[in-house]
Structure 1
Amino acid sequence: MLHRLRQWDVLSSFRVDYFINNSNYVAKRIKKIYNREAVTIYPNVDMKRFELYREKEDFYLAS
């Protein structure tokens, strides 16, 4: 089932005019999977509003 879905996805990619993504990581995946270039538009985030929290805390994250 997944094989057919991947085939359909790749075939559908030929109808795409432009691939637009929000990171270089995703652009590399697009290049690897579809062999197409992608335009990266970074999210509009003011990095000055955020600080890196260097102190470690013990916690568990469950989803």
Structure 2
Amino acid sequence: MGPIFELLSRLNPGTDVEDVFINGHEESVDSFAAFNPTSGLATFAKANGEILVVDYTRIDAIEFN
């Protein structure tokens, strides 16, 4: 598991998020949407309406507003 897993498990949908760092690359997002602890997939909404879905093990850091 780990700290990112624990953080994602506790975040409320709609929480404002500035950026997600995935394998060292910064990805701008607007908010946290969901986390599925069974599959390990974290979902974030972007300001332009796009959805970002990423395996939590690839997330290095999450920057909050």
Instruction: Give the structure-2-normalised TM-score.
Output: 0.28
| Greater share of residues in helix | 1
> Between Structure 1 and Structure 2, whose CA radius of gyration is higher?
1
Please identify which structure carries the higher strand content. 2
